[in-house]
Structure 1
Amino acid sequence: MLRFGYKASAEQFGPRELIDFAVRAERAGFDSVFVSDHLQPWRHTGGHAPAALPWLGALVASTERVLVGTSVLTPTFRYHPGVVAQAFATLGCLAPGRVILGIGSGEAMNEAPLGIEWPEGKERFARFKEAILLIQELWAGERVTFEGAHYRTENATIYDRPETPVPLYVAASGPAATRLAGRLGDGFICTSGKGRELYTETLLPALAEGAAKEGRTLDDLDLMIEVKVSFDTDRRRALEDTRFWGALALSSEEKTGVEDPVEMERLADALPIERTASRWIVSDDPEEHVERIWDYVGMGFRHLVFHAPGPDQARFIEQYQTHVLPRLRERAAALA
């Protein structure tokens, strides 16, 4: 089954606005709402960073149908994995069958400002794997004593757990973490706008390899991709909307060591519009827009969460409801 979700852009809007947009998205027919969990946004001017955990509590109280979750939260530095396990168990009790925990290994801009010494990739990966195992043990057992290299618990119990387990989705952009997602996750999260070969020749084969180690296939996982879309019947507006998110177009080399949203904003604003738009599907033609989105379905992704960059999210939701979602639903029905 194909699902089409809405990304609540926490780096761009305050918590009350985000709730309003999420409720609109549910009414417009989106299947899910995901939110990122940043301590600091990608840019200082006009930036926001509401905390995901309390916000998700408000979201499940404000909606009735949509799946909700994080895309993504880091359970290794700002949060102890046990706190994450408890929080999402509680959310699962509040909205049974509607909550997803999406996690990733993190970014320095969210951790270093709190005085956390940002480690090398090998340690981050080890912490991430250990955090996943601990969360799953806490969800499954009682009186959990866990002795890891980075985390430990002694007779810990999550007392309030939902009857319907909370799925755990692992975000990854490289083969090692993707294999981990295949082994330990219920779902996989990645982002769009990169070369097709990354998905078809690196990530999806690594995911299948990891799943096979546990006797599973890709059909046993929810393959989710956050699709960067800028759709508007006014093409120039669709193009200009991408400026706020120029940081996404910066190369890894350009962003390395940048932990301050003021500096990230400066680097992003220096880019020409052609580069800021390079990570997005920019279009004013619904048929062409859907065709480009469908490339990801062709690769095997089954849960597409749409992230729009513009300041008028109500306009985006309305235009997607009118021009894009019906076409996607039609194609999905034909595929089924």
Structure 2
Amino acid sequence: MIRFGYKASAEQFPPAELLRYGVLAEELGFDSVFVSDHLQPWRHDGGHAPAALPWLGALAARTERVLIGTSVLTPSFRYHPAVVAQAFATLGCLAPERVVLGVGSGESLNEVPLGIPWPDGKERFARLKEAVQLIQRLWREDRVTFEGQYYRTENATIYDKPEIPVPVYIGASGPSATRLAGRIADGFITTSGKGRELYTDTLLPAVREGAEKASRKIDDLDLLIEVKVSFDDDHEKARQDTRHWGALALTPDEKTGVEDPIEMQRRADALPVERTATRWIVSSDHDEHAEKIAGYLDMGFKHLVFHAPGPDQERFLRLYSERILPQLRSRVS
């Protein structure tokens, strides 16, 4: 099954406005709505950071069909994995077979402000793996006693959980976490805007390798990619809209160690639009735009979630539903 979804930009819009966009996405025919779970946004001025868990509950109550979930939540620092298991089990009861738990190893921007010492990548990966394993056990079993390196439970029970467990998707941009997704998760999440070879030569083969090691088939996993798109009839407006998300164009060296949205904003705003636009498919031609997006389908991704940077999200949703989604669905069929 091929799905086309909407990325609700929690870092850009206040909760009620963001909820309206999520509901509108369902009305206009999008298949899913995903939201990130950030304590802090990527910029201070005009930034927002609503809590994902209550927001998803509100979205579940206001929608009937659309798949909803996090892209992504970190289940290993601000939350105990058992609390995440409880919260998403509850969401799964409220919206059966419509909820996804998307998880990742975390970003210091979200955790360091709470006084959490930020570990290296090896420890973050180990914490993520252990957290996912504990969450899955809590959904499958009763009275779970778990003694891991980082997390422990004693006779823990999630009393309210859906008949079919909530799928877990693991977000990653490197081979180790991607192989983990293939081994133990129901789906894989990554983001667009990087070299084609990263996806075709590294990430997708790593998912397949992980699945095969666990005697699974890659076809059984949902391969999701957040596609960064800026589409408008006015090409220059589409380019300028990418400035709000300039932080995405910063290199790892430029971002490492920055936990303050004010400083992140300062660094992002210093970039020229030629750089901020590099992470996005920027276009005013719907045929060209759809063709570039289709490249990710050709690679093998099955679930494309579109993230638009502009302030007028209703305009984006309507333009996309009228001009882009029909072309993509026609191509798939």
The interval holding the TM-score normalised by the smaller chain is: over 0.9
CA shift, 1:164, in A, is: 2.2
Question: How far apart are the structure 2 equivalents of 1:152 and 1:7?
Answer: 33
Residue 101 of structure 2 aligns to a residue whose secondary structure is strand
Aligned amino acid, residue 131 of structure 1: A
CA shift, 1:163, in A, is: 1.3
- Alignment partner, residue 54 of structure 1: 54
CA shift, 1:140, in A, is: 0.3
- Alignment partner, residue 310 of structure 2: 310
Give the share of equivalent positions with the same residue, in percent.
74
Residue 33 of structure 1 aligns to a residue whose secondary structure is strand
Instruction: Determine whether 1:273 maps to 2:273.
Output: yes
- Alignment partner, residue 207 of structure 1: 207
- Alignment partner, residue 257 of structure 2: 257
Question: How far apart are the structure 2 equivalents of 1:305 and 1:52?
Answer: 17
- Alignment partner, residue 139 of structure 1: 139
- Alignment partner, residue 184 of structure 2: 184
Q: Which runs of 5+ in 2 are unaligned?
A: none
* 1:9-37, Cα deviation, whole Å (9 max, x unpaired): 00000110011001111011000000000
Aligned amino acid, residue 95 of structure 1: A
- Alignment partner, residue 170 of structure 2: 170
Q: Which runs of 5+ in 1 are unaligned?
A: none
CA shift, 1:322, in A, is: 1.2
Question: How far apart are the structure 1 equivalents of 2:207 and 2:322?
Answer: 35
Question: How far apart are the structure 2 equivalents of 1:164 and 1:93?
Answer: 9
With the length of structure 2 as denominator, give the TM-score of the two structures.
0.99
- Alignment partner, residue 320 of structure 2: 320
* 1:281-305, Cα deviation, whole Å (9 max, x unpaired): 0000010000000000010000000
* 1:216-251, Cα deviation, whole Å (9 max, x unpaired): 121010000000000011111111110000000000
RMSD: 0.5
- Alignment partner, residue 195 of structure 2: 195
4+ residue stretches of structure 1 with deviation over 6 A?
A: none
Aligned amino acid, residue 10 of structure 1: A
Question: How far apart are the structure 2 equivalents of 1:203 and 1:114?
Answer: 32
- Alignment partner, residue 16 of structure 1: 16
Question: How far apart are the structure 2 equivalents of 1:223 and 1:121?
Answer: 23
- Alignment partner, residue 86 of structure 2: 86
Question: How far apart are the structure 2 equivalents of 1:167 and 1:226?
Answer: 18
With the length of structure 1 as denominator, give the TM-score of the two structures.
0.99
Question: How far apart are the structure 1 equivalents of 2:134 and 2:23?
Answer: 33
- Alignment partner, residue 43 of structure 2: 43
Instruction: After superposing the two structures, state which structure 1 stretch, 40-49 or 324-333, moved more.
Output: 324-333
CA shift, 1:324, in A, is: 0.6
CA shift, 1:67, in A, is: 0.1
- Alignment partner, residue 123 of structure 1: 123
Residue 189 of structure 2 aligns to a residue whose secondary structure is strand
Aligned amino acid, residue 263 of structure 1: E
Question: How far apart are the structure 2 equivalents of 1:329 and 1:216?
Answer: 28
